[in-house]
Amino acid sequence: MVTLQQVKRIILIIKEFQIKRSLDRRYLQQETGFTYDFWEAESGEVALHLCGNQVPDCIVLDYLLPDRDGLEFLDELKTLTGENFPPVIMLNERGNEAIALWYNSRLLSLVWQRLKMQS
């Protein structure tokens, strides 16, 4: 029997700068007991190409990408994935602006619940 801890989940981190992607990856790796494959993309175009091959289990998305904003990316992702749309955590690192989360009621706590349910 395969346990939840043995199932490798894919997390796609989409941010323009490598240093920011690395920081997010290190933070997410602190979660003990789970195994993740991390994909990284520096633009929406690269991320959509990756999602076209295989939809990740979760996406961490920067709102401001070099080629489009996060909402435009989400519209394109929804078209690409349809019913297989993954949970998305959208971050906005500008000033005191609110952290944006995908409106489809996929809050961070629900991301982990969904990952567990798929095992």
DSSP states of 70-82: HHHHHHHHHHHHG
Q: What is the pTM assigned to this prediction?
A: 0.76
For the cut 70, the answer to whether the pLDDT of residue 87 exceeds it is yes
- pLDDT of 81 > 80? The answer is yes
CATH code of domain 4-117: 3.40.50.2300
Q: Report whether 70 contacts 61 (CB < 8 A).
A: yes
pLDDT recorded at residue 116: 65
Q: Name 24's bridge partners.
A: none
What does the pLDDT look like over 30-77, one tens digit per residue?
866 778 899 999 999 999 999 999 999 999 999 999 999 999 999 999
Query: What is the arrangement of strands in the sheet containing 8-14, beginning at the earlier edge strand?
Result: 35-41, 8-14, 58-62, 88-91
